[in-house]
Structure 1
Amino acid sequence: MAATALMLVLTLAPDRTPSVSAEPAAFAPGEVQTLSVSADLAVSISRDSYKVTKKVVAVAKPASGAPAVGVPDPGTAQAIGYELVHARGWGDDQYACLVSLFNKESHWNVYASNPSGAYGIPQALPGSKMASVGADWATNPRTQITWGLNYIQGRYLTPCGAWGHSQSSGWY
């Protein structure tokens, strides 16, 4: 017969302050499970003679309303975007806005096109505008993202500025 116990659930506030809440769970008689959270956000779960510790990595949701994102896989167009955003001195909040914007525009597809003539990851219109950054504009994600960030910085100041405009008008 299983005993009713409490399962502790860890959540993080936007300021990364850990909070623990309890939910009902079922364990066999005599089983004990504990959860502890250290100041450096390491979570330890112990059950009988087993213990698992995992460092919690959290990304707060940007104030802009863009969904939170993590660090992208190396070698991807998103990793290039991550690098280029940080090279401009912008933080993870701006990267999250860029991810939302380019997901909406092209799903980070270097060959994305639409009938209007918009092309590439940033959906430049016409796509040939991106030649100002490199002759390989039609196939190189770094060239396209660099052009897109130049455009965003010149017109909206930041990716979150562009994302906010896109959310309110449907385009950027």
Structure 2
Amino acid sequence: MAVAAGTALGIVVTTGLTLASPNLAAAAPLAATAIASVAAPDATVHTLRDIRVEAKSTLLAARVALTDADTITSDIAAAGLDIGITDTSVDTDDLTRAADRLAQLNIVPALLLPGLAADASSSTEKVAARVADLREHLDAAKAQKAAEEAAAAAAAAAAEAQRQAEAAAAALAAANTPEGAKATARAMAASQYGWGDGQFSCLESLWTKESHWDYQAYNKNGGATGIPQALPGNKMASAGADWQTNAATQIAWGLGYIAGSYGTPCAAWSHSQAVNWY
């Protein structure tokens, strides 16, 4: 046993490594295990193998933590957001040194690995906690930015909808004037029926006589309604539900009525001149 103890201590001395006393203290129980291995060599071999496996696992966790630290630092810089923390750095000096020492596990005596692994594990936990804190703040800043952008987009959409509604209302108001109604009728007559200026001249005379191109015109005596003086007025619903408020809808119905009943506006105008209605 004296020889075994001397050998164990000799391994520590001849490595040439300078380690902190906590590491030596952590290795002390294992030194006793090594001495006892004279009686149970198989158990000791198994224990030392487990030590190295654990050390490798700890080293891997340390390297992952270092990578995460670099990643969060890069992510914060790329985001360009105020995450609510002035200092966004991650102090990895202790972990880097601990990982470098542990990386020599193939040449470091197994008796010293638990102490090195403990140092690395402690530093890993500190770095991981710092990374988690920064990540939480970054995610919160991103969520706030996303919410602000969504609110801005919603406001912009609402403003655009309002603009379009106002533009539509203005267009409708313009179209509902006598001149606007005439322009609409001229365009519809040409595009939908192929009626040119000659036919439109007849149409202009006809509907001037009937309603003066007033979409709100109403004949109290008979109930004829709108620019074409439909009787009853709700006939025009076949051209659109807005027949009471939209001159274009009334015109669309009126042109269809003329085409179906007389063929052309001039034929309808001739009939109106002859019998005073069409």
For 1:165, the aligned partner's letter is H
Alpha-carbon spacing, 1:75–1:100, altered in 2? closer, same or farther (3 Å): closer
Find the counterpart in structure 2 of residue 94 from structure 1: 199
Find the counterpart in structure 1 of residue 243 from structure 2: 137
For 2:199, the aligned partner's letter is Q
Find the counterpart in structure 1 of residue 188 from structure 2: 84
- Secondary structure of 2:224's partner? coil
> 2:210 & 2:178 partners in 1: Cα distance?
22
TM-superposed deviation, 1:131: 0.1
With normalisation by structure 1, the TM-score equals 0.56
Match of 1:148 among 231, 239, 254: 254
Alpha-carbon spacing, 1:168–1:74, altered in 2? closer, same or farther (3 Å): closer
CA contact 2:203–2:269 (8 Å) conserved in 1: yes
CA contact 2:242–2:249 (8 Å) conserved in 1: yes
Unaligned runs of 5+ in 2: 1-176
Find the counterpart in structure 1 of residue 215 from structure 2: 110
Larger strand percent: 1
CA contact 2:178–2:212 (8 Å) conserved in 1: no
TM-superposed deviation, 1:75: 6.8
Q: Deviations over 1:2-36 (max 9, x none)?
A: xxxxxxxxxxxxxxxxxxxxxxxxxxxxxxxxxxx
Find the counterpart in structure 2 of residue 164 from structure 1: 270
For 2:208, the aligned partner's letter is N
Alpha-carbon spacing, 1:84–1:109, altered in 2? closer, same or farther (3 Å): same
TM-superposed deviation, 1:84: 0.7
> 1:75 & 1:114 partners in 2: Cα distance?
21
> What is the CA RMSD across the aligned residues, in angstroms?
1.6
TM-superposed deviation, 1:166: 0.3
Larger helix percent: 2
How many residues matched? 100
TM-superposed deviation, 1:155: 0.4
> 1:103 & 1:118 partners in 2: Cα distance?
14
Any runs of at least 4 consecutive aligned residues in structure 1 with deviations exceeding 3 A, and if so which? none
For 2:265, the aligned partner's letter is P
Alpha-carbon spacing, 1:103–1:74, altered in 2? closer, same or farther (3 Å): closer
> 2:245 & 2:227 partners in 1: Cα distance?
10
TM-superposed deviation, 1:139: 1.0
TM-superposed deviation, 1:74: 10
Alpha-carbon spacing, 1:144–1:74, altered in 2? closer, same or farther (3 Å): closer
Find the counterpart in structure 2 of residue 125 from structure 1: 231
> 2:268 & 2:194 partners in 1: Cα distance?
17
> 1:135 & 1:171 partners in 2: Cα distance?
26
Find the counterpart in structure 2 of residue 66 from structure 1: none
TM-superposed deviation, 1:147: 0.3
Identity of aligned residues (%): 59
